[in-house]
Amino acid sequence: MFVVLFSFVLAAVTLSGASSVHGVHQDPCVKIAGHSYVAPADALACMRSFPYNETLKKNVLAVVSGALDFFTFEAEQIHSPPPFQESSVNLRSELARIKATKYPTDYDFNKDLFDTINRLNDGHTLWLPFCYWASFQNIIPAPVVSLSVDGVQNVYIAPDTVAFISQLGALFTSYYDSINFDWKRYAGAKVLEIGGMPAYSYIDHIASTVSGNYLDHGIRVNSVFSGYRIASNSWSQRLGDLAGPFFPTLTSLEFKLIRVNSARVETVKFPYRAAYINSGTFTDSASYWKANCAVTATTNGQSYYPSDAETQQGFVKIEDHDSIVARRVLKMVGAKKEPMDIGRPSGVGLPAPQWPTAPLQAGTGVLKSYILPDKPGVGVMMVGSFEPRGFVQFQQDVIDSLSKFRAAKVTKLIIDVSNNGGGYVCLGEYLHLALVGSSFGYGGFTTSHRANDLARVVVAADIKRGVNASISFYAPDNYAFLNGTPLPKTYNYMEPPVSHQVNGLREPVGQRILDNSCTPFKVALPPKPYFKAENIVIVGNGNCASTCAQFTTVMRERHNVKMVVFGGKPGEPMEYKGMAGNQVLDWPDLNSELLTAGVKTNPQAPPDLIINGDIRINWRTAYSWKDQNTPIAFRSDRAPYRFPYTPDIVHTPQALW
């Protein structure tokens, strides 16, 4: 039945995808096929060539609505608490609106659904229609930054724009040559207005309507700007949400600016180019749909419950801890795809002259450690991500870094988490305990799940089936009681659910528990700290997501480590961390939980997706150690130290350190 339905939908969408102009059928996807960079209007025409399909919409809404039943913060975000009021969305009201709306195209439906959930400003909770989201990245050669010059902060086109954008290559820059647009001459220009608005007002507009990901508006402002990071194990630079958005909705953007060494105000229109960043090739609309939109073998996950033959010999056991982590992705991450500004292999590197010149002490992956040459007692640990290519290697890099620091008599430590997108929860706990000593004890937060009816059915079914932590996130042996004692495999932590009031609603949750999934680590932790907490400074730009947010929060709340944030809008407050849930599940993970528990036939279980997409949800809550009634996501903790970027440090990490 599924194959027949999907085949019908695929045929209905692709065969009617071409538009008719003057009676002649033209396929807009043919025009852009095989090109790395195209006109945004042409990219959008291809994506909007697929007609609105009620069957697809009903399927997507059924899956999204069902998955959101597990979203831990739905009630909180009907009216988000101060200072996060901008991140308020009544999801059920919005889904009802979308359900009642007929759209011009399939793209318009998916874009509306994406925008609606994106307004939560929670990068853990998103509808990602892979047919359209991040298939094209819109790029202009004008990444912007906020700089303090002579003590006054303004918006500027990044000073390193020429070296930075040139890395995109001739396929990108040749277009501007062909229209005689000299984008290089505007590098470093002071920006007065963007899109007809004062520059910072337009930055606010993008932060409010495009950026998403972070509850705090101030962090989203920094996301609009370009900034350095480590991606794919190498120094990299983000384009920022203004210069590199994921939908090709703008064809150009007008700037009013003053060039370097000039006093004349100029009005300049920068054309966007849309970069095709999906790996699937296409020649026309039918092959575009197949490459980007058709359901894949991994779209809906799978059951990890053993077959009858395996059951006779007991459950499949994964003895290697690294393999367990690879399956049981205890992680809180950004998007699966890596658009060019977050480090695809073909992406944009940090220009080499801006790399640290201090000798690398340890780490060749997402973690790199240095000793400042002019301050030999100060070590730096750049932690670009908690999602390395090697789970165990990250642990070894941490210990190697501490050993190098000890040998060099380093007594003070800077940890840079600028644009850290998160990753494995366990590696955040590992770094925490490596710094404070394993004798500290539990390295995470207390946690709970949303106890909707179906979640309760899953836990009960897991217990009845004997499902264990190697194949399920819901299995009780993932967790421990608050005293640290592991939960028995037959202990139902969802019963009875605990009821509490949120925005006037009764919201049932499971019992408060601890993680019991990370230890033992492969690389032994030091029992005692090497650095005193008062000698550790964590620095970043607020774009510290997921596991990064957990790591920085636990260091702040439990050890009072100093937090320093650079950038943002002058005069506006800013948090030091963002996207602070406890664990995210993508749709394949959540659906696998239902399949593994054997409850997919339950009337409350969502169906499988019949297109390629992902509804991810924040699935567990982490509670503040400062206030056990408040999730860390909604506990405002402003950065105690704020500094503006200046031209000499904005994209030069060692100078900033």
Buried b (16+ CB within 10 A) or exposed e, 424-458: bbbbbbbbbbbbbebebebbbbbbbbbbbebbbbb
Q: Is 12 exposed, middle or buried (0-12, 13-18, 19+ CB in 10 A)?
A: middle
Residue-level pLDDT at 307: 58
On the CB side of 404, how many CA atoms lie within 13 Å of its CA? 22
CB–CB of 399/489 below 8 Å?
A: no
Quote the pLDDT of residue 134.
Answer: 85
Confidence class of residue 462 from pLDDT cuts 50, 70 and 90? very high
Model pLDDT for residues 5-60, shown as the tens digit of each residue: 444 444 444 444 444 333 346 999 999 999 999 999 999 999 999 999 999 999 99
- Residue 559 CA to residue 290 CA, distance in Å, equals 51
Per-residue pLDDT, averaged over 291-310, amounts to: 84
Q: How confident is the model at residue 149 (pLDDT cuts 50, 70, 90)?
A: very high
637 SS3 class: coil
What mean pLDDT do residues 94-116 have? 98
Indicate the pLDDT class of residue 335, thresholds 50, 70 and 90.
very low
Q: What pLDDT band is residue 280 in, cutting at 50, 70 and 90?
A: confident
Tokens, residue 115: 């925008």
Mean pLDDT of 86-94: 97
By three-state DSSP, how is residue 203 classified? helix
- Helix 217-224 × helix 199-206 angle, to 10°: 110
In sign, the C-alpha dihedral spanning 119, 123, 129, 135 is positive
Q: Which CATH architecture has domain 334-441+521-580+635-656?
A: Alpha-Beta Complex (3.90)
Burial (0-12, 13-18, 19+ Cβ within 10 Å), 196? exposed
Q: Tokens in use for 150?
A: 């002579």
**If you average pLDDT over residues 644-656, what whole number do you get?**
97
Res 278: pLDDT: 87
Position 283 pLDDT exceeds 90: yes
Closest C-alpha to 338, from 630, 134, 119, 573: 134
Q: 136-276 has which fold?
A: Pdz3 Domain (2.30.42)
Q: Which helix (H) or strand (E) holds 93?
A: helix 91-100
For residue 227, give the amino acid letter: G
Residue with tokens 């004997």: 466
Region 587-600: what's the mean pLDDT? 97
- Domain ranges across the chain: 136-276, 334-441+521-580+635-656
Q: CA-CA distance, 431 to 445, in Å (whole number)?
A: 15
* CA gap 188, 191 in Å, rounded: 9
pLDDT at 568 over 80: yes
Please say whether the beta carbons of 544 and 621 come within 8 A: no
- Angular region, 380: left φ>0, alpha ψ -120 to 50, beta rest: beta
Cα gap 89→75, rounded to integer Å = 9
Query: CB neighbours of 474 closer than 8 A, spacing ≥ 6?
Result: 449, 455, 458, 459, 462, 467, 593, 597
> Which distant-in-sequence residues (6+ apart) come within 8 Å of 263 by Cβ?
none
**Amino acid 519: pLDDT:** 80
Q: Tell me how far apart the alpha carbons of residues 292 and 611 are, in angstroms, rounded to a whole number.
A: 9
Contacts of 194 (CB under 8 A, 6+ apart): 144, 155, 202, 203, 242, 253, 254, 255, 256
Distance CA 94, CA 112 (A): 10
Q: CB within 8 A of 184, min separation 6: which ones? A: 141, 161, 162
Higher pLDDT, 507 or 205: 205
Q: What is the DSSP letter of 87?
A: G
Residue 489 CA: distances (Å) to CA of 17, 481, 496: 52, 12, 17
Two structure tokens written together for 203: 């930055």
Query: At residue 230, what is the residue type?
Result: I
Q: Which residue has the higher pLDDT, 639 or 110?
A: 110
Instruction: Please measure the distance between the N-terminal and C-terminal CA atoms of the chain and give it in whole angstroms.
Output: 60
CA distance 277 to 134: 7
Q: Predicted confidence band at 506 (pLDDT cuts at 50, 70, 90)?
A: confident
Average pLDDT, the chain: 90
Q: At what angle do helices 106-118 and 91-100 cross, to 10 degrees?
A: 170
In Å, how far from its chain's centre is CA 557? 23
Judging by DSSP bridges, how do beta strands 227-231 and 197-198 pair with one another? unpaired
> Is the pLDDT reported for residue 596 higher than 70?
yes
Nearest to 555 by CA among 569, 540, 571: 540
Assigned token pair, 441 = 């004890």
* Confidence band of 244 (pLDDT split at 50, 70, 90): very high
How far is Cα 66 from Cα 89, in angstroms, rounded to an integer? 17
At what angle are helices 453-465 and 587-597 packed, to 10 degrees? 50
| 538 and 561 Cβ atoms separated by less than 8 Å | yes
Cα radius of gyration rounded to whole Å, the chain:
25
Q: Is the pLDDT of residue 322 over 50?
A: no
Encoded amino acid at 652, one letter: T
Nearest to 621 by CA among 469, 387, 445: 445
Report the pLDDT value the prediction gives residue 517, as an integer from 0 to 100: 82
- Give CA–CA dist 547/67, Å, rounded: 22
Closest Cα to residue 138, out of 336, 284, 49, 271?
Answer: 271
DSSP state of 292: I
How many of the other CB atoms lie within 10 Å of CB of 61?
Answer: 18
Least Cα distance to 386 among 218, 591, 579, 252 occurs for 579
Say whether 190 sits in a helix, a strand or coil.
Answer: strand
Is residue 565 scored above 90 in pLDDT? yes
